[in-house]
Amino acid sequence: MQILCSIPEMQAVNYPAGSKVGFVPTMGYLHEGHLSLVDAAVKSSDLVVVSIFVNPAQFAPSEDLDSYPRDFDRDLALLEKRKVDYVFFPTADEMYPPGYKTWVEVEGISHILCGNTRPEHFKGVSTVVLKLLNIVRPQSMYMGEKDFQQLTVLQRMTQDLNLGVDIIGCPIIREEDGLAKSSRNLYLKGKEREQATCLYKALTNSQKLVAAGELAAEKIIAAAEQLILDSLVKVDYIKIVDGRDLSEVQDIDEHSRMLIAAWVGKPRLIDNMSLKA
Amino acid sequence: MQILCSIPEMQAVNYPAGSKVGFVPTMGYLHEGHLSLVDAAVKSSDLVVVSIFVNPAQFAPSEDLDSYPRDFDRDLALLEKRKVDYVFFPTADEMYPPGYKTWVEVEGISHILCGNTRPEHFKGVSTVVLKLLNIVRPQSMYMGEKDFQQLTVLQRMTQDLNLGVDIIGCPIIREEDGLAKSSRNLYLKGKEREQATCLYKALTNSQKLVAAGELAAEKIIAAAEQLILDSLVKVDYIKIVDGRDLSEVQDIDEHSRMLIAAWVGKPRLIDNMSLKA
């Protein structure tokens, strides 16, 4: 496994002609969710590149950039075991040098849902992923469905900009009690950890309601709100959208997906599920 | 010479390994300015791609998109003579299909000079060039220095986004009386054509003032304004900037460049010149 700590080093990698390169972008502090993406990439690629970069451009000044967890040595040990070929680990100064001015934005869908609370977030995500794709030059990129809006935004971006890269969404990996794996789960304290499972419970309950014949989005959302009602949890949003374009839906169909964001104590958690399982 | 009228056709072109591909993006209606770029590309490349696409995204609703001159057959005949290998001629519907949402912007320098009068222009230019570069996949792109701000914006974009493409600026090609070649010169009527040379005269006069020892930008600009004063000409701006980042300068040095934009009758013309020739 080669570790490349600068952009020119990564750009200089000469992949053998015709080899299929799979790419997994991460912010490090890897958990089983990330590793499932690496496994998917290894399975379908000749060569696998994983990037580790805590991207300052996707954090607002008020957010947790400085305290975001980091453990590079542990990450490397995990990737080494998984037959990763290249780890790209650039610095923020190299990714955004003095005089940096260029930003890409997927309009509309970057400003709804999580984009309401985090108005610059998806601009930062889109820009860094575009840069990483240009530097790494993969055929496929693997992302978790946990950040479902991110997945949709980046699929739209790569299609609109004719990047010729497949963006492959992979299933959410969960703890035994259903909580979606996230680096931010680390911040959950005391009772918050147990209470955080209410997002999962609200999603599975919604799925059950649909299976039982309830197709009115409004009623399903109201039931989910009731399940999340707790003094430790503050809902940001609970929405049912068309998974293809994130537009809100009134009546459930096979494309409907519930998306939830909520603060559980300090950390803000997100989760989502297809309602027609 | 192959003519490729769709994005998948262009993307499917398999350049021989190791061949150096030069690219000239145009809006068609080719004049000697464009052809000098093609010649530069042919001279330094193994394969040359020219695109012809009148990009709607860089015209404001009030601007001349519909009346912008077009003559595809004449353009093809000119390119055939110059040993161009591929002409890429996509449709607007294919470049911006329904649901298109992604825009790239080089902040700051897209909103000064021509960006004051045309606030969305460079966003449209940056986005279409990024798309074209992704589709055509060249090593070098050739652009005229006439659109000096455009050249600076695109150099910044390709550097910021790690595109690994050289953006090569080529000298302005002029009519015998000094008027910079432009597709829009076609619109000049009657006395406007003669009067349009005042931009060139103001630039060469500024160069002479500097050669004679005048280094105060303010005084040189005032003299240029006097030379352009005419009932047929309405100045948009006359500025002296650092050619590297378009910042305005007070005192002339080797990087100083005068940029002029003015309406001569209906058409808006631009021109520029280094002040230390």
pLDDT tens digits, one per residue of B228-277? 988 889 999 999 999 999 999 999 999 999 999 999 999 999 999 999 86
B202-225 per-position pLDDT tens digit:
999 999 999 999 999 999 999 999
- Write down the ipTM of this complex: 0.95
Which pLDDT score, from 0 to 100, does residue B211 have?
97
The token pair that represents B121 in the structure block: 């222009």
- The answer to whether B154 contacts chain A (CB < 8 Å) is no
> Measuring CA to CA, which residue among B71, B165, B151 is closest to residue B113?
B151
Strands (E), chain A: 2-4, 21-26, 47-52, 86-88, 102-106, 140-144, 166-170, 233-242, 256-264, 268-274
Contact between B135 and A162 using a beta-carbon 8 Å cutoff: yes
Average pLDDT over residues A146-153: 98
**pLDDT score recorded for residue B230:** 82
CATH of B183-274, one of 3.90.1200.10, 3.30.1300.10, 3.40.50.620, 1.10.3720.10: 3.30.1300.10
pLDDT at A231: 82
Enumerate long-range contacts of A64-68, CB under 8 Å, 24 or more apart.
A64/A184, A68/A27, A68/A29, A68/A183
Check CB contact of A8 with chain B, cutoff 8 Å: no
Model pLDDT, residue A23: 98
Give A142's pLDDT tier (boundaries 50, 70, 90): very high
CB contacts, 8 Å: B111 with chain A? none
pLDDT, position B276: 87
**Distance (Å, rounded) from C-alpha B19 to C-alpha B85?**
13
Contact B161 A102 (CB under 8 A): yes
Q: Which of B102, B135, B162 sits opposite A157 (nearest CB)?
A: B102
> Residues B94-99: what's their mean pLDDT?
97
Q: pLDDT tens digits for A194-240?
A: 999 999 999 999 999 999 999 999 999 999 999 998 888 999 999 99
Give the Cβ contact number of residue A83 at 10 Å: 12
pLDDT at res. B16: 95
Residue B157 banded pLDDT, cuts 50, 70, 90: very high
- Note the pTM of the prediction, 2 decimals: 0.96
Q: Could you report the per-residue pLDDT of A42-88, keeping only the tens digit for each?
A: 999 999 999 999 999 999 999 989 989 999 999 999 999 999 999 99
Mean pLDDT score across all residues of chain B: 96
The single-letter code of the amino acid at A29 is Y
Residue-wise pLDDT for A97-114, tens only, equals 999 999 999 999 999 999
Which residues in chain A have Cβ-Cβ distances shorter than 8 Å to B14? none
Q: In A161-216, where does DSSP find H-type helix?
A: 191-195, 198-211
The per-residue pLDDT for A60 is 94
- Where residue A276 falls among pLDDT bands split at 50, 70, 90? confident
| B14 at interface of A, judged by CB pairs closer than 8 A | no
| Nearest CB partner across the interface for A163, out of B103, B134, B162 | B134
pLDDT one-digit tens code per residue, B110-146:
999 999 999 999 999 999 999 999 999 999 999 999 9
Rounded to 5°, angle at Cα A108 from A223 and A207: 25
Which residues have CB under 8 Å from A73's CB, separation 6+?
none
User: Which structure tokens are listed for A269?
Assistant: 């958690």
Q: A69-81, pLDDT tens digit by residue?
A: 999 999 999 999 9
Q: Which residue of B has its CA nearest to A11?
A: B164
Question: Within 10 A of B206 (CB to CB), how many other CB atoms are there?
Answer: 27
Say what the pLDDT of residue A222 is: 97
Residues of chain A with Cβ-Cβ distance to B99 below 8 Å are 156, 245
User: Which of B103, B106, B162 minimises the CB distance to A107?
Assistant: B103
B104:A109 CB<8 A: no
Q: Give me the pLDDT at residue B277, please.
A: 62
Considering only CB atoms, B160 lies closest to which of A17, A101, A245, namely A101
| Residue positions of B annotated with a catalytic role | 34
Q: Which is the CATH superfamily of the domain at B2-170? A: HUPs (3.40.50.620)
Q: How many angstroms from the chain centroid is the CA of residue B41?
A: 16
Residues of chain A positioned with their CB less than 8 A from the CB of B156: 99, 101-102
* SS3 call for A155: helix
Quote the CA–CA distance of B129 and A159 in Å, as a whole number.
Answer: 15
Q: Is the model's pLDDT at B52 over the cut of 80?
A: yes
pLDDT in tens, B169-184: 999 999 999 999 999 9
Domain limits of chain A?
2-170, 183-274
- How many C-beta atoms surround the C-beta of residue A145 within 10 A? 20
Band the pLDDT of A181: cuts 50, 70, 90: very high
A111 labelled catalytic: no
